[in-house]
Amino acid sequence: MLSPDTISIDNYNYDLPEASIAKFPLDNRDDSKLLFLKNGNISVHPFKEIPDMLYKHSLLIFNNTKVIHARILFRKQSGSLIEIFCLEPAGEVSDVQLSFQQKEKTTWKCFVGNNKRWKEDFQEKIFNYKGNTITLKAERKEAVDDAWIIDFTWNEPSLSFAEVLDIIGQIPLPPYLNRNAVDSDNIRYQTIYARMKGSVAAPTAGLHFTNEIFNRLKKERINVDYVTLHVGAGTFKPVNTDNVAEHIMHYEKIVIEKQTILNIIENLANNIIAVGTTSTRTLESLYWFGVKLEVDKDKCTTFDISQWDAYADAYNKDITTKKALENIIIYMTDNNLTNLNGQTQLMIVPGYKFRVINGMFTNFHQPKSTLLLLIAAFLGEQWKEAYDYALKHGFRFLSYGDSCLFLKEK
């Protein structure tokens, strides 16, 4: 396995013209194009043809996280705006779902835009709810890295924090779109199967799927299942260090049902295809948790995968995927768990050996990004050929752009 400290980010750069960036989605989700790269061969198809292209009994794993209205704008009396971008819970209640259910107050880690203009003790936003005037207050506490801890309070006991965000928050579009959100983004920057609130960015590989496609997948005996990884703002953070090993990856929360892990074990002989880089990182993180349970069971008490666990000599013991996943089932049974909750910082870079998946759906990613490094890890040097082909043939790039399916024979 290659060592991350031998990898230069300059080798994962390419020229992305502004005209190739899709600023808005197509009218129909499945009207996008699909670049299909199978065993080194590239072909182009309409995305809606994928049920006819996949092998029977393949297992597709989707990320069912839901994008929250994470951006809250506070207008000062002077007319200037303070933007608070909610990232993750930071108070006594650290579970995302439980934090959303809190009433009257909650504490979150947030980015603050126009922070220098924040001179008051708190920011205040007034809104109407069922004929009542509600006041949301935001009090800035201590700084944490490039973010702030913010205490939110509101004077309506019946409203949860999730409901407050739904009413006054805005959908957080990727910064590279360079535009304000419009009403249609509330629907289109969300997969149709989104269920678990907690992301500040959509798992965009899933944006192309429609109910019609899901029905056809079922008809073609292609199986589907779901994991949850709440996408953090760090997904847009470029690699600014020349040496990849110096980049600090973001942690993201994961929830996986026990039955889903059993389903993966049952399908290891079939094609397991991750829908998106987030599903990929979730599934590969599962493997490393199972390895840690094998190698260091007494000390491995929580599902917590750090950035370079996959590259540590201590964990590269040729443990099979089946054995690793079975270790997790035993762990969950022993602890009476039906859901596995944890977090991952796993960074997948060229040289990484994939243990769970042999295929992935994904959009086209930014130059010098951790997402492009993951693609290069799966494709090797052929990522350049795929991206060059897409640019020359008018594919649409980034979150609202076209799709890829990369597939290797089992």
- Does residue 250 surpass a pLDDT of 90? no
Of 401, 342, 346, nearest in space to 371 by CA: 346
Mean residue pLDDT across the chain: 94
The whole-number average pLDDT for the span 30-47 is 96
Name the more confident of 146 and 42: 42
The pLDDT of residue 68 is: 95
Average the pLDDT over 339-352 and give the result.
96
For range 169-195, the mean pLDDT: 95
CA pair distance 296, 301, nearest whole angstrom: 10
Contact residues for 386 (Cβ-Cβ < 8 A; gap 6+): 35, 37, 42, 379, 404, 406
In angstroms, the CA 280 to CA 265 distance is: 16
Q: How far is CA 89 from CA 93, 113, 148, in A?
A: 7, 18, 12
* Stretch 111-125: mean pLDDT: 91
Distance CA 18, CA 97 (A): 37
In this structure, of 42-56, 75-89, 123-137, the range with the lowest mean pLDDT score is 75-89
In this structure, are residues 74 and 135 in contact, taking their beta carbons and an 8 Å threshold?
no
Say if CB 14 and CB 387 are below 8 A apart.
Answer: yes
Is the pLDDT at 104 greater than 90, yes or no? yes
**Per-residue confidence (pLDDT) for residue 76, from 0 to 100:** 85
What is the model's pLDDT at position 2? 62
Enumerate domains of the chain plus CATH numbers.
4-66+188-407 (3.40.1780.10), 70-170 (no CATH)
276/140 Cα distance (integer angstroms): 35
pLDDT at position 63 over 70: yes
pLDDT computed for residue 235 by the predictor: 77
Asked whether the predicted pLDDT for residue 42 surpasses 80, the reply is: yes
- Residue 95 has a pLDDT of 86
Least confident of 48-57, 113-122, 187-196, 213-222: 113-122
pTM: 0.94
Q: Compute the distance between CA of residue 159 and CA of residue 153 in angstroms, rounded to an integer.
A: 11
Q: Which residues pair with 46 in a beta bridge?
A: 33
Q: Which among 263, 261, 255, 262 is positioned nearest to 59, based on CA atoms?
A: 263
Q: How far is CA 23 from CA 173, 233, 336, 351, in A?
A: 10, 19, 46, 33
